[in-house]
Copies of this chain bind each other. A is one copy, B any other.
Amino acid sequence: MEEIDRRIVTLLAQDGRMSFTDLARETGLSVSAVHQRVRRLEKRGVVRGYAAIIDHDAVGLPLTAFVSIKPIDPAAPDDAPDRLSHLRAIEACHSVAGDESYILKVRVASPVALEDLLQQIRASANVSTRTTVVLSTPYEHRVPHLAGEPDPAPDITQD
Protein backbone atom coordinates (compact mmCIF):
# COMPACT_ATOMS: atom_id res chain seq x y z
CA MET A 1 0.00 0.00 0.00
CA GLU A 2 1.38 3.37 -0.85
CA GLU A 3 1.31 6.99 0.09
CA ILE A 4 -2.01 8.00 -1.46
CA ASP A 5 -3.85 4.96 -0.13
CA ARG A 6 -2.52 5.67 3.36
CA ARG A 7 -3.74 9.22 3.01
CA ILE A 8 -7.20 8.06 1.97
CA VAL A 9 -7.37 5.53 4.81
CA THR A 10 -6.34 8.17 7.34
CA LEU A 11 -8.90 10.67 6.06
CA LEU A 12 -11.70 8.10 6.14
CA ALA A 13 -10.66 6.92 9.59
CA GLN A 14 -11.00 10.53 10.78
CA ASP A 15 -14.23 11.21 8.90
CA GLY A 16 -16.00 8.13 7.67
CA ARG A 17 -18.53 10.20 5.75
CA MET A 18 -16.09 12.35 3.83
CA SER A 19 -17.28 12.66 0.22
CA PHE A 20 -15.30 11.44 -2.77
CA THR A 21 -15.19 15.02 -3.91
CA ASP A 22 -13.42 16.09 -0.72
CA LEU A 23 -11.14 13.06 -0.76
CA ALA A 24 -10.20 13.98 -4.32
CA ARG A 25 -9.36 17.52 -3.32
CA GLU A 26 -7.30 16.37 -0.34
CA THR A 27 -5.33 13.85 -2.36
CA GLY A 28 -4.99 15.77 -5.60
CA LEU A 29 -6.58 12.97 -7.62
CA SER A 30 -9.69 13.07 -9.75
CA VAL A 31 -12.97 12.04 -8.19
CA SER A 32 -13.16 8.82 -10.14
CA ALA A 33 -9.60 7.85 -9.27
CA VAL A 34 -10.29 8.21 -5.52
CA HIS A 35 -13.54 6.38 -5.97
CA GLN A 36 -11.72 3.49 -7.54
CA ARG A 37 -9.08 3.41 -4.81
CA VAL A 38 -11.64 3.50 -2.00
CA ARG A 39 -13.58 0.62 -3.56
CA ARG A 40 -10.35 -1.33 -3.89
CA LEU A 41 -9.41 -0.65 -0.27
CA GLU A 42 -12.86 -1.86 0.76
CA LYS A 43 -12.64 -4.99 -1.37
CA ARG A 44 -9.18 -5.84 -0.08
CA GLY A 45 -10.48 -5.44 3.47
CA VAL A 46 -8.12 -2.59 4.36
CA VAL A 47 -11.24 -0.54 5.05
CA ARG A 48 -13.49 -3.03 6.81
CA GLY A 49 -16.52 -0.83 7.17
CA TYR A 50 -17.86 2.45 8.48
CA ALA A 51 -19.36 3.27 11.84
CA ALA A 52 -20.92 6.16 13.67
CA ILE A 53 -19.13 6.91 16.93
CA ILE A 54 -21.71 6.87 19.69
CA ASP A 55 -21.79 8.61 23.05
CA HIS A 56 -22.59 5.64 25.25
CA ASP A 57 -23.67 7.85 28.12
CA ALA A 58 -26.30 9.49 25.94
CA VAL A 59 -27.58 6.16 24.82
CA GLY A 60 -28.15 4.57 28.20
CA LEU A 61 -24.96 2.53 28.49
CA PRO A 62 -22.82 4.70 30.75
CA LEU A 63 -20.80 1.89 32.37
CA THR A 64 -17.80 0.48 30.50
CA ALA A 65 -15.58 -2.29 31.87
CA PHE A 66 -12.76 -4.59 30.85
CA VAL A 67 -13.41 -8.19 31.80
CA SER A 68 -10.47 -10.60 31.76
CA ILE A 69 -11.45 -14.23 31.64
CA LYS A 70 -9.68 -17.50 32.45
CA PRO A 71 -11.02 -21.02 31.83
CA ILE A 72 -12.12 -22.99 34.90
CA ASP A 73 -10.98 -26.16 33.16
CA PRO A 74 -7.78 -25.39 31.24
CA ALA A 75 -8.02 -28.78 29.48
CA ALA A 76 -11.39 -28.01 27.85
CA PRO A 77 -11.42 -26.78 24.24
CA ASP A 78 -11.24 -23.03 24.14
CA ASP A 79 -14.23 -21.68 22.26
CA ALA A 80 -15.01 -18.81 24.59
CA PRO A 81 -15.44 -16.19 21.83
CA ASP A 82 -18.14 -18.29 20.16
CA ARG A 83 -19.85 -19.07 23.44
CA LEU A 84 -19.91 -15.38 24.34
CA SER A 85 -20.81 -13.78 21.03
CA HIS A 86 -24.54 -13.82 21.78
CA LEU A 87 -23.96 -11.39 24.67
CA ARG A 88 -24.45 -8.10 22.90
CA ALA A 89 -23.05 -6.05 25.76
CA ILE A 90 -19.63 -7.39 24.72
CA GLU A 91 -18.21 -4.87 22.29
CA ALA A 92 -14.86 -6.57 21.73
CA CYS A 93 -13.04 -9.79 22.52
CA HIS A 94 -9.25 -9.99 22.36
CA SER A 95 -7.19 -13.14 22.87
CA VAL A 96 -4.21 -12.11 24.97
CA ALA A 97 -0.83 -13.29 26.22
CA GLY A 98 -0.48 -13.53 29.96
CA ASP A 99 -2.21 -15.08 32.90
CA GLU A 100 -5.71 -14.72 31.44
CA SER A 101 -6.91 -15.88 28.06
CA TYR A 102 -9.20 -13.09 26.81
CA ILE A 103 -9.96 -9.47 27.52
CA LEU A 104 -13.53 -8.40 26.83
CA LYS A 105 -14.69 -4.81 26.58
CA VAL A 106 -18.26 -4.45 27.75
CA ARG A 107 -20.86 -1.65 27.93
CA VAL A 108 -23.81 -1.82 30.29
CA ALA A 109 -26.50 0.38 31.76
CA SER A 110 -25.68 0.00 35.46
CA PRO A 111 -23.73 -1.89 38.14
CA VAL A 112 -26.57 -4.37 38.43
CA ALA A 113 -26.48 -4.96 34.68
CA LEU A 114 -22.75 -5.57 34.97
CA GLU A 115 -23.29 -8.09 37.76
CA ASP A 116 -25.83 -9.87 35.62
CA LEU A 117 -23.55 -9.84 32.58
CA LEU A 118 -20.64 -11.29 34.56
CA GLN A 119 -22.81 -14.18 35.67
CA GLN A 120 -23.83 -14.81 32.08
CA ILE A 121 -20.20 -14.71 30.95
CA ARG A 122 -19.12 -17.19 33.63
CA ALA A 123 -22.02 -19.52 32.89
CA SER A 124 -21.74 -19.33 29.10
CA ALA A 125 -18.02 -19.93 28.78
CA ASN A 126 -17.15 -21.74 32.03
CA VAL A 127 -14.61 -19.12 33.02
CA SER A 128 -13.66 -17.04 35.99
CA THR A 129 -13.70 -13.26 35.52
CA ARG A 130 -11.68 -10.30 36.72
CA THR A 131 -13.30 -6.95 36.05
CA THR A 132 -11.78 -3.50 35.74
CA VAL A 133 -14.35 -0.72 35.75
CA VAL A 134 -13.75 2.34 33.57
CA LEU A 135 -14.23 5.59 35.51
CA SER A 136 -13.79 7.97 32.59
CA THR A 137 -12.34 7.98 29.10
CA PRO A 138 -10.04 10.92 28.35
CA TYR A 139 -9.83 9.77 24.73
CA GLU A 140 -10.80 6.89 22.47
CA HIS A 141 -10.98 6.11 18.74
CA ARG A 142 -7.90 8.13 17.90
CA VAL A 143 -6.48 7.59 14.45
CA PRO A 144 -2.92 6.28 14.38
CA HIS A 145 -0.19 7.70 12.22
CA LEU A 146 0.25 5.42 9.20
CA ALA A 147 3.97 5.76 8.69
CA GLY A 148 6.04 5.49 5.54
CA GLU A 149 7.36 1.94 5.22
CA PRO A 150 5.36 -0.94 6.70
CA ASP A 151 6.51 -3.28 3.94
CA PRO A 152 9.94 -2.01 2.93
CA ALA A 153 9.37 -2.72 -0.78
CA PRO A 154 12.33 -4.96 -1.68
CA ASP A 155 14.23 -2.91 -4.21
CA ILE A 156 14.89 -5.22 -7.12
CA THR A 157 15.94 -2.48 -9.50
CA GLN A 158 18.24 -3.98 -12.07
CA ASP A 159 18.06 -1.68 -15.10
Contact = CB atoms under 8 A, between A and B. Distances in A.
A102 to B, nearest CB: 8
Contact of A46 (B54, B64, B81): B54
B17 A46 contact: no
A51 B14 contact: yes
Interface string A47-70: 111111111101111001010000
A141 B9 contact: no
Contacts of A64: 94
A141 B52 CA distance: 11
Interface of A: 1, 6, 9, 12-17, 44-56, 58-61, 64, 66, 81, 85, 88-98, 103, 107, 109, 132-147, 150-151
